[in-house]
A and B are shown apart, each in its own frame.
Chain A
Amino acid sequence: MNGVAMHIANGIVNAQVSAIFAAIAAAALAICVWRGRADLDDRLAPMAGLVAAFIFAVQMLNFQVLPGVSGHLLGGTLAVVLVGPWVGALCVSTVLIIQCLLFADGGLTALGLNITNMAVVGTAAGYLLVAGLLRVLPKTPRGVAITAFVASVVSVVVASQAFVLEYALGGTTELNLTTIAGTMAAAHVLIGIGEGLIAAVTVATVARVRPDLVYALRRFRKTASPSPKPAVPAPAVGGAA
């Protein structure tokens, strides 16, 4: 883990705006915890952990955009497709919290900003697109892959613009905002394409081998679950630890 990965650090955006976004992030996550608890069953719990670990690994891939501004993959759309919007947002924010506490990546006071951008805005944009596109596209591995690709590109760019908004509200130094917005958008289109390819390939493989694991396909399969491995036993009742 020697990759130089970095989220927004302390001191980039001023304290008031950081506090506002910390409150927004906390409120959004509270909703996700409330809605996500119902989703988190025996199949989704290990999947959520794996998705989080995968996002963690993928975020280590960093692209130098300009000297000093680097972008990285976000992973929100992958999470949305595999574990749903609520648990997906929780996965991304778990990654961000652990990166902040154990890997000194991203400032503690900027955690609210980072969570808002990547876990809330990125995931929400990804979810809306996934939900919309899957209505039109075929519910096949190929359709899901295309969906994941398009949603990734858009959600990454949207998340990067959320940073521009935060910087406009509370940036500690005056810079030309249109330049930042343009640079961030251009860079994140490229990053989004990289991310989209990874998400599409992963989702397509999972949809082909274990379609039962793809959350986004669940509601299209209400009757007769065709999962090849339905053998998830009921949780042990009252097992002695």
Chain B
Amino acid sequence: MGAGHAHPLHLDHDSRVHRLPAEVKIVATLLFTIVVVITPREKFVAFAGYLLLLVGVLVVAKVPPGWLAKRATIELPFVLLAIALPFAGHGERVHWLGMSLSVDGLHGAWNIFAKGTLGVLASLLLAATTTARDLLLGLDRLRCPQVFTQIATFMLRYLDILADDARRMRVARLSRGYDPRFLWQVKAFAVGVGALFIRSYERGERVYLAMVARGYSGRLPRPEGTGATTADWVRSATLPIAAGVIALVAVLA
């Protein structure tokens, strides 16, 4: 956990998608997701088209499909909700394998499943190809208010501090022969949480004051690069534009 720039979903290698500036990737992901969400749910072909587009990005970004599929399980709670809908929905019902299913619920389930999955896959591809630092830089270049980037910068730094301190305190507790894991031992956990907060704050405060002493004024220096070029914008625009064309064709057909 040495370098604070990676995050658990980042896939550390080089590809054409990795090299794109973060701001164009954020905008492309956002536009793509919007197109997916506004597509009427009964246009099944369009969703297949979107999936193919994402497969294309996956190939260019050299992201292993298994790696992506494993992380897409974050969506599981909503898939379970989707499975419950055909049973709980109202209106016209169909009978299939002896089960009475609501048509509206089936459509709703498909809607959540398709749009949710495509959205998660798009976000995962963004996360896999962008480091936390680049993402903040991208948000900064997109004129995101400085308060946000400042809080986010500290947050990502503190996450590592919190995790490390929590691990140290756990080891210290275990090595003293105490391992609270039942409800009536919750006090140990509670006291630990408070102590963790103060410890992390005081470590982080020292780091912050050291940063201020070295000239930090709310914004990290931007060392290299001048941001996205027109070519970068054009290259990343292919994804949302292709999705838009698919949506138009599907709606008009």
Contacts and interface: CB of A to CB of B under 8 A. Distances in A.
Interface of A: 1, 4-6, 9-12, 15, 18, 33, 36-37, 40, 42, 45-50, 52-54, 56-57, 66-70, 87, 90-91, 93-95, 97-98, 100-105, 107-109, 172-176, 197-198, 201-202, 204-206, 209-210, 213, 232-233, 235-236, 238-241
Contacts of A175: 85, 88-90
A1 to B, nearest CB: 5
A206 B198 contact: yes
B123 A98 contact: no
A122 to B, nearest CB: 17
Contact of B114 (A11, A69, A235): A11
Contacts of B124: 104
B112 interface: yes
Interface string B47-80: 0000000000000000000000001111111111
B91 A105 contact: no
B147 A37 contact: yes
A97 B148 contact: yes
B145 interface: yes
Given A53-B159, A104-B127, A10 B215 contact: no
Contacts of A12: 78, 112, 116
B95 interface: no
5 contacts: A40-B147, A53-B155, A94-B148, A236-B214, A239-B215
Given A10-B118, A107-B37, A173-B108, 7 more contacts: A5-B74, A46-B204, A53-B162, A68-B84, A108-B122, A175-B88, A197-B186
Contacts of B127: 101-104
Interface residues of B, number: 91
B138 to A, nearest CB: 9
A56 B155 contact: yes
A102 B7 contact: yes
Taking each of B29, B84, B120, B158, which has the highest tally of chain A beta carbons within 10 Å of its own beta carbon?
B158
B126 A101 contact: yes
A10 B36 contact: yes
Nearest to A234: B212
Contacts of B232: none
B79 to A, nearest CB: 8
B241 interface: no
Contacts of B141: none
A94 B149 CA distance: 8
Interface in B119-159: 119-120, 122-124, 126-127, 130, 132, 135, 145, 147-148, 150-159
Nearest to A197: B190
Contact of B194 (A66, A87, A98, A204): A204
Interface string B33-51: 1101110010000000000
B37 A18 contact: yes
A70 B196 CA distance: 26
Closest 7 interchain pairs by CB?
Answer: A49-B154, A173-B108, A239-B215, A11-B115, A205-B194, A68-B81, A53-B158
Interface in B156-202: 156-159, 161-163, 186, 190-191, 193-195, 197-198, 200-201
Taking each of B123, B126, B213, which has the highest tally of chain A beta carbons within 10 Å of its own beta carbon?
B123
A239 B84 CA distance: 60
Given A68-B84, A197-B190, A105 B150 contact: no
B17 to A, nearest CB: 15
B237 interface: no
A206 B197 contact: yes
